[in-house]
Amino acid sequence: MTTQIKIVGLGGSASRRSSSTLAIENVLAGARNAGAAVVSMDVQTLALPMYEYGPTPSEVEPLVDAVRSAHGMVWCSPLYHGSISGAFKNAIDWLQLLSNDDPPYLSGKVIALVATAGGDQALQAINTMEFIVRALRGWTLPLTAPISRADAAFDEQGVPHDQRLGERLYTIGHELVQAAQTLAK
């Protein structure tokens, strides 16, 4: 019996129409097409409290439970001042609750990285996220998508204006599922 791969998308921004969320949805469409069950978690709607060591607030449990049961994830943060957003970093900080799991943190999980930027420096956020994945013992997917000038990258339906970007995001979703299947064996 084959286990259905579960992919969790995590990201977004405070924007009403977040290009980061749109990018995640495009990646998750590729993952869904590859047979994965997908869950999308937006930092704005999660409304997580600031990370603090101590008792776990109930608002955090859906995120931690989803990540714990996932085979892989897609992360997407907007580039803020040369790095990831504070809201995204706060969500990642709550993954500290996976430290006592066996295996801990993101061990055995593959993480796809996408970033959006108003200018041309989206790769800086991807580099930051890659360091975090490594610190949490996860595996990063080699194919990434730094999306420059993201405010104009998607149409009203969330479809990328540039067909190559759409194909790349969809391919990331497919490759994420393939890598997660390999690690799940």
Q: Within the chain, where are the H helices?
A: 19-33, 43-46, 61-69, 86-93, 123-135, 163-184
- CATH superfamily for 6-184 is Flavodoxin domain (3.40.50.360)
Structural domain spans, the chain: 6-184
Dihedral sign, Cα of residue 178, residue 106, residue 18, residue 119: negative
When the pLDDT of each residue in the chain is averaged and rounded to a whole number, the result is: 95
Q: Are 180 and 111 in contact (CB under 8 A)?
A: no
Q: What are phi and psi of 71, to 5 degrees?
A: -90, -25
pLDDT digits (tens, 9 = 90+) for 143-174: 999 999 999 999 999 999 999 999 999 999 99
Tokens standing for 171? Answer: 């391919």
